[in-house]
A and B are shown apart, each in its own frame.
Chain A
Amino acid sequence: MNITLNGASRTVADGASITALVSEVTGRALSADGQATDGQRLGVAVAHNSEVVPRSKWHGTALADGDDVELVTAVQGG
C-alpha cells in the first residue's frame, strides 16, 4: 500500500505500524514503547493524518492506504 511520508509517496507493507515505518526510515531498531534499543534518544516525532501520535502508541497504530505521515526532528533554526 502507499502512504505519503513528509510530502512524498512511499510504499509500505500492508498494515505496517508506525514503529515499523519509523524504524525503516531512521535505520534505528525500536522497542514496543517507541524508544530506540541502542539506548540513545531517538529525537523524532510523528503526526499521523495531522494528529500527533505519542511514541508509546506507535506500535499499536496501523497505517492504512492513503495515510499522511509527517516525521520530524530537531534542526538548526530559530
Chain B
Amino acid sequence: MIEANTVSESTTATSAAPGRHDSLVIDGIALESRLIMGTGGAPSLDGLGAALVASGTSLTTVAMRRYSPAESGSLFQLLVDHGIRVLPNTAGCFTARDAVLTAELAREALETDWVKLEVIADEHTLLPDAVELVDATEQLVNRGFKVFAYTNDDPVLALRLENLGATAVMPLGSPIGTGLGILNPHNIELIVSRANVPVVLDAGIGTASDAALAMELGCDAVLLATAVTRAQDPALMGEAFKHAVIAGRLAKEAGRIPRREHALASSAMEGRAEFL
C-alpha cells in the first residue's frame, strides 16, 4: 500500500527555505506560495501584473503562441521582472504530437524543462483527453521534461500519470473557466491519499473558499486563472486567494474536528448559577 504524500511531505520538511517551513518543493525548487497562477482572461498586462503580485504567487503558467511584433514578449519579461517562475503550458493542444512539439518550443523559448501538460478533447468541454495525455506524458518524461499533468479527477488516471513519471498531477475541480468549484471532493481526497508526487487542484475554482477547500482536502497547491483575471477586482481577488490557500493549508495541518450527528456543548454544565 502506498503511503500518502511521502515524497512531498518529506521534501517539504527537509529542504524548505530558511524561515519558511511550508514551502512547496518541486524538482528541488522551493516555491514560497502554494498558489500557482494562470494568465488567461486578463484584459490588460498591467492589470495582470498587479493581480499576480497581490496573489503572492511564485509560479505562473503561460501559453505558447505565434510571435507577434505588436505584442512582443512582454508577458515573459513581466514575470522575470517580478521574480515569478514561469510554467509554460500546452493549452490548445488536442493531440500528444502537438503537445510534445509545443513543450519543446516552450523549453527552448523560456529555458525551463517544466511544462504544464494540457491535452484537451474538445473546445466545448475543455476536458483532458486521457489517451493523448498518457501518451504525451510518457514522451515528455522520456525527453527529460518535468511534467505537471493536467488531468481529470480520476484517481486511477492520476496514479497512472504518476507511475509514468509525472512530476505533479493536477486534477480538475470542474471544467476550465466554469467556476463551479470542486465537484467531486471525494475523488480529490482519494487522489491525494494515494499520490507520492505533489497534487495541484487545477481548474474550476470560482472563489476563495474553493481554494481553501482544495487545500483542506490535502492538495499541495492550487492553480487558477479565470477566478482572478475575470473577477471584478482581479488584484483584490488575487489577495483573497493568497489568504485562502494559506488558511486551507493551515486548517489541514491543524486537523479539523470530526463531524457529529448531534451538538456537543463546549461549556461545562457544572457550576451554573441557579435562579429561584
Binding site for B on A (CB under 8 A): 6-7, 25-27, 40-47, 50, 52, 54-55, 70-78
Extra pairs beyond A45-B106, A76-B63 (8, CB < 8 Å): A43-B77, A44-B73, A45-B104, A45-B105, A54-B108, A75-B75, A76-B48, A78-B116
Chain A residues whose C-beta falls within 8 Å of the C-beta of B73 in the assembled complex: 26, 42-44, 73-74
Taking a contact as CB atoms closer than 8 A, the residue among B88, B90, B101, B108 that contacts A55 in the complex is B108
Could you tell me if B109 and A43 are in contact, using CB atoms closer than 8 angstroms?
Answer: yes
15 examples of A-B residue contacts, CB within 8 angstroms: A25-B67, A26-B67, A40-B77, A41-B80, A43-B109, A73-B72, A73-B109, A74-B63, A74-B73, A74-B109, A75-B65, A75-B75, A76-B48, A78-B38, A78-B91
Instruction: Decide yes or no: A47 and B75 within 8 Å by CB, A6-B67, A73-B67, A77-B40 being known contacts.
Output: no
Chain A residues whose C-beta falls within 8 Å of the C-beta of B111 in the assembled complex: 41
Tell me, in angstroms, the Cα distance from A73 to B105 when the chains sit together: 9
**Which 4 residue pairs are nearest across A and B when measured between Cβ atoms?**
A77-B63, A78-B91, A45-B109, A78-B89
Could you tell me if B69 and A72 are in contact, using CB atoms closer than 8 angstroms?
Answer: no
Taking a contact as CB atoms closer than 8 A, the residue among B38, B42, B64 that contacts A73 in the complex is B64
Binding site for A on B (CB under 8 A): 38-42, 45, 48, 61-67, 69, 71-73, 75-77, 80, 86, 88-92, 101, 104-111, 116, 118, 225
Tell me, in angstroms, the Cα distance from A43 to B88 when the chains sit together: 11
Taking the nearest CB of chain B, how far is it from the CB of A70, in angstroms?
7
Could you tell me if B110 and A76 are in contact, using CB atoms closer than 8 angstroms?
Answer: no
Tell me, in angstroms, the Cα distance from A32 to B206 when the chains sit together: 48
Tell me, in angstroms, the Cα distance from A71 to B64 when the chains sit together: 10
Tell me, in angstroms, the Cα distance from A40 to B39 when the chains sit together: 22
Q: Which residue of A lies closest to B73 (CB)?
A: A43
Taking the nearest CB of chain B, how far is it from the CB of A38, in angstroms?
12
Taking the nearest CB of chain B, how far is it from the CB of A34, in angstroms?
9
